[in-house]
Amino acid sequence: MIRNRTILFLHQNFPGQFLHLARHLSRENRVLFLSRKTPNRLARVRLVEYDLHREPDARIHPYLSGPERGILHGQAVVRELLKLRREGIRPDLIVGHTGWGETLFVKDVFPDVPLLSYFEFYYSTLGADVGFDPEFPSDPDLKFRLRIRNQAILSCLEATDRGLSPTRWQQERLPAPFRSKVAVIHDGVDTDAVRPGQEASVTLPNGRSFDAATPVVTYVARNLEPYRGFHIFMRAVQPILDRNPAAEVMIVGGDDVSYGSRLPGGETYRERALRETQVDLSRVHFTGKLPYATYLNLLQVSAAHVYLTYPFVLSWSMIEAMATGCLLVASRTPPVEEVIRDGENGLLVDFFDVDAIAQRVTQALQDPERFRPLRAAARRTAVERYDLSRVCLPQHVGLLEEMLG
């Protein structure tokens, strides 16, 4: 048990991956959280907001725009850390995300305070997202930009006392000399709240309601974009509808871009997909981003849940879908393969194989009893390996206790 300590969190999008850990620690400790300006709040957590004093200079070398933004974040955090130090606040432990540069200069302000850094993704032109999809080739300069972009992560790896990555594959993306000090602990899912609902139903924003009596196919992403296989899924939609006359397809996600490049002329990937494919829009429902409770209800009524991703950061939604007992039809890509075993707790397909996706979904819809054991196994995997309160949170706290001595 960690008690009577001062713990400082750093994440530019409060609370990010630290929601559950910060909430847990705030019961017995003083918890401060540095973040960019946000309306979000947590009880018992003191939020310290910062902002950049300027944007990156458009005149600098283009390879340096990302690193300069990271330096600007790091400087903004330093200004707040110095204010806290003048208040007489010295944290016992600092926990920060490295993705935007917040942790760059932490050890220069508090050299003797243990630092735990969250490493979500190390960029590379081989073996991950870059070059994976020939439909969206990278520009020739990208490999050089990514090498420079990694410089800030390398600095954080060198300076941090311990590290944290949510999956083994993400940890193994890091340079070999640093991996030993980076633990693999998933953020965790509250499987008591995220669970199957035998009598569940969902009402969409358009007023239509569905329950398990309807063969519902679900697809979820923060934003509808190639990194999460949206373009591939859309090509499978009409074959799924043709083979399953009663099926309805629910597509959850926004029209922004979280990863990768935007389309020219302001076109969204949803608009392009609808222009390039002919789908029956009376049976295809674009819900946008849903309230969390509605999203969970939709997973609970799902007869087949399609999750596609480039080799990239694993989505929380995949583990949540497993926790609700969804039958996953997922891409055979890392780190999905770290979680799903084909024919045991889900079904794996080649990311680009539109016909295989449609076939697997059709099998799920037409013979649901055959796949009921896989749904139960998916739930067991989520509970046994990714449960928040019984597995992941104790592992996080144990790591912090070790660092605090």
| Same domain, yes or no: 282 and 378 | yes
| Same domain, yes or no: 170 and 252 | no
| pLDDT computed for residue 352 by the predictor | 98
Q: What is the dihedral of CA 373, 375, 381, 382, to 10 degrees?
A: -160
| Same domain, yes or no: 136 and 103 | yes
CA dihedral (10, 13, 15, 21) positive or negative:
negative
Q: What is the dihedral of CA 345, 349, 354, 359, to 10 degrees?
A: -50
| Same domain, yes or no: 263 and 159 | no
| Same domain, yes or no: 230 and 330 | yes
| pLDDT computed for residue 391 by the predictor | 98
Report yes or no on 196 lying in a domain.
no
In tens, the pLDDT along 341-380 reads 999 999 999 999 999 999 999 999 999 999 999 999 999 9
Instruction: Return the axis-axis angle of helices 354-366 and 230-243, rounded to nearest 10°.
Output: 50
| pLDDT computed for residue 205 by the predictor | 81
| pLDDT computed for residue 208 by the predictor | 87
Instruction: Show the tokens assigned to 305.
Output: 């849940």
Q: How many domains does the chain have?
A: 2
Report yes or no on 352 lying in a domain.
yes
Amino acid at site 75? Q
Report yes or no on 1 lying in a domain.
no
On whether the CB atoms of residues 9 and 95 are closer than 8 A, the answer is yes
| Same domain, yes or no: 174 and 221 | no
Nearest to 99 by CA among 32, 166, 37: 166
| Same domain, yes or no: 355 and 214 | yes
What separation in angstroms does the CA of 252 have from each of 93, 178, 188, 259, 306? 38, 37, 22, 17, 11
On whether the CB atoms of residues 119 and 153 are closer than 8 A, the answer is yes
Report yes or no on 193 lying in a domain.
no
Q: What is the CATH number of the domain that holds 298?
A: 3.40.50.2000
Report yes or no on 194 lying in a domain.
no
Residues of the chain with pLDDT under 70: none
| Same domain, yes or no: 400 and 356 | no
Question: Which residues form the domain of 370?
Answer: 201-386
| Same domain, yes or no: 220 and 184 | no
Report yes or no on 195 lying in a domain.
no
| Same domain, yes or no: 216 and 166 | no
Rounded to two decimals, what is the model's pTM?
0.95
The C-alpha atoms of residue 52 and residue 344 are separated, in whole angstroms, by 48
| pLDDT computed for residue 260 by the predictor | 87
| pLDDT computed for residue 121 by the predictor | 96
Which residue in the block uniquely carries the two structure tokens 């099926």? Answer: 247
Report yes or no on 161 lying in a domain.
yes
| Same domain, yes or no: 179 and 210 | no
Work out the burial of residue 281: count CB atoms within 10 Å of its CB; fewer than 13 is exposed, 13-18 middle, 19 or more buried.
Answer: exposed
| Same domain, yes or no: 146 and 214 | no
| pLDDT computed for residue 138 by the predictor | 86
Report yes or no on 122 lying in a domain.
yes
